[in-house]
Structure 1
């Protein structure tokens, strides 16, 4: 399965992500969709039993830190995903679906520089988390993300990352 790539745009009539209220709207909308999703919903509801009311301010802190360098998030996201992966292995399909839902939600709600940054950063973060929980280095540049079927990875070292 090839890695999901975010789309390039959203509607021009939408406003950009401007602060915490917008982030709360974005993550609230996203998680309502993620919880209902056939593939990743059970991870949130049945595996980690996520308390969405308690989790929303944490995710708002995370995205406010990512988008506005607010310095509000101090948890270890990697350790949390390692714990989830130990309970229910997280495959590329899970990360791709998360990215697809995130990107679609951003595109439906916002347009502008911060909205684009939210999609790009989500892609980079998801890729890094996926590589780390599957035992590979975090950097997309230290591995070959896509290898030919049956290939040994030798010959050219062409990266499909971006």
Structure 2
């Protein structure tokens, strides 16, 4: 099995991963609420992972801003990571594959922590 090597690898990973997300009982409703046309989202994800894994400055934007409005729990983050890891492991092995999983874990933890802080901040009683 090859490592994640280029944009073709990224497309395979992203396409298969989001295909799984769309079929997942827990995650599908969250994404369906915000994504009607998947093609623009997939294009952003190709650029995002190309920037994250290969340093190619394709991605422009603030990924957290898009996720902050989601109603998700720790279960959602865990499931997202589980599907992502399974998808990577199904298609790839090597340094970049491991880096992709580690980066996904770091982002999920950061997003979850920041979303929790926002929620707490919005529920402070004065």
Tell me whether the two structures share a fold, i.e. TM-score over 0.5: yes
Which 5+ residue runs of structure 2 have no aligned equivalent? Answer: 119-126
Show the counterpart of 1:21: 8
Q: Which residue of 2 aligns with 1:116?
A: 98
Indicate the residue corresponding to 2:37 in structure 1. 51
Runs of 4+, deviation exceeding 4 Å: none
The aligned counterpart of 2:62 is 76
More RCO (CA 8 Å, sep 6+): 2
TM-score, L = length of structure 2: 0.90
**Cα distance in 2 for residues equivalent to 1:49 and 1:96:** 21
**Matched positions, count:** 118
How do 1:1-150 and structure 2 match up within 5 A?
Answer: 14-45=1-32, 47-83=33-69, 85=70, 89-135=71-117
How far residue 30 of structure 1 moved from its aligned partner, in angstroms, is 0.2
Max radius of gyration: which structure?
1
Structure 1: gaps spanning 5 or more residues: 1-13, 137-162
Alpha-carbon deviation of 1:56? 1.1
RMSD: 1.0
Is the helix fraction higher in 1 or 2? 2
Distance 1:50 1:105 in 2: 23
